[in-house]
Amino acid sequence: MKYWILSLGLFFTTADLMAAEVATLDGKVHSGEIVSISDGQVTLNENGAPVSIPFDRAMAVRWDSPAASSSAETRAETRLRLHNGSQTTLFAAQCDGRNVQGVNPAAGDVSVPHSAVQAVLFKPLDEKTRGQWEELLAKSTSDDLLVIRKGDTLDFLTGVVTEYGEAEVNFLYQGSEIPVKREKVFGLIHPTRDTGNGTAIGQVKTVYGDVLFVDSLSLQNQTVTLQVAANASWKLPQSQIREIDFSLGRVVYLSDLEPEMVEHTPFFDTVWTYQRDRTNVGAPLRLGGVEYTKGVWIHSKTSLTYRLAGDYTRLQAMIGIDDAVAANGLGQVRVQIKADDKVVFEEDVAALDAPRALEIDLTSARFLHILVDFGSGLDISDHLVLGDARLIK
Read off the CATH number of the domain in which 357 is found.
2.60.120.1060
For the segment 17-55, what is each residue's pLDDT rounded down to a tens digit? 678 999 888 778 899 999 999 999 999 999 999 999 999
Q: Of 62, 81, 112, which residue sits at a domain end?
A: 62
Q: Looking at the structure, tell me whether residues 106 and 55 fall in a common domain.
A: no
The predicted pLDDT at position 327 comes to 85
Q: Looking at the structure, tell me whether residues 242 and 141 fall in a common domain.
A: yes
Q: Looking at the structure, tell me whether residues 168 and 229 fall in a common domain.
A: yes
Q: Looking at the structure, tell me whether residues 101 and 54 fall in a common domain.
A: no
Q: Looking at the structure, tell me whether residues 38 and 82 fall in a common domain.
A: no
**Cα–Cα distance measured from residue 156 to residue 150, given in angstroms and rounded to the nearest whole number:** 10
Q: For residue 129, is pLDDT > 90?
A: yes
Q: For residue 12, is pLDDT > 50?
A: no
For the segment 332-381, what is each residue's pLDDT rounded down to a tens digit? 999 999 999 999 999 999 999 999 999 999 999 999 999 999 988 788 88
Q: Looking at the structure, tell me whether residues 51 and 104 fall in a common domain.
A: no
Helix, strand, coil percentages (3-state) for the chain, rounded to 5, are 10, 55, 40
Q: Which residues contact 77 (CB under 8 A, 6 or more apart)?
A: 89, 90, 91
% of residues, the chain, pLDDT over 90 = 74
Tell me the average pLDDT across 6-22: 55
Q: List, as one string, the DSSP characters of 283-301.
A: PPEEETTEEESSEEEEESS
Q: How many CA atoms lie within 13 A of 309 on its CB side?
A: 2
* 71/61: higher pLDDT: 61
Q: Looking at the structure, tell me whether residues 75 and 198 fall in a common domain.
A: yes
Q: Looking at the structure, tell me whether residues 165 and 56 fall in a common domain.
A: no
Q: Of 214, 247, 280, which residue sits at a domain end?
A: 247
For the segment 66-95, what is each residue's pLDDT rounded down to a tens digit? 655 555 555 578 999 999 999 999 999 999
Q: Of 14, 36, 62, which residue sits at a domain end?
A: 62
Chain centre distance of CA 386: 18
Domain encompassing residue 235? 65-247
Q: Looking at the structure, tell me whether residues 180 and 299 fall in a common domain.
A: no
Q: Looking at the structure, tell me whether residues 281 and 374 fall in a common domain.
A: yes
* Mean pLDDT over the full length of the chain: 89
Q: Looking at the structure, tell me whether residues 204 and 255 fall in a common domain.
A: no
- What is the domain count for the chain? 3
Q: Looking at the structure, tell me whether residues 243 and 334 fall in a common domain.
A: no
**Cα–Cα distance measured from residue 90 to residue 111, given in angstroms and rounded to the nearest whole number:** 10
Q: What is the CATH number of the domain that holds 48?
A: 2.30.30.100
**Cα–Cα distance measured from residue 44 to residue 3, given in angstroms and rounded to the nearest whole number:** 12
Q: For residue 118, is pLDDT > 90?
A: yes
Hey, CA dihedral for 179, 182, 186, 188, is it positive or negative? Answer: positive
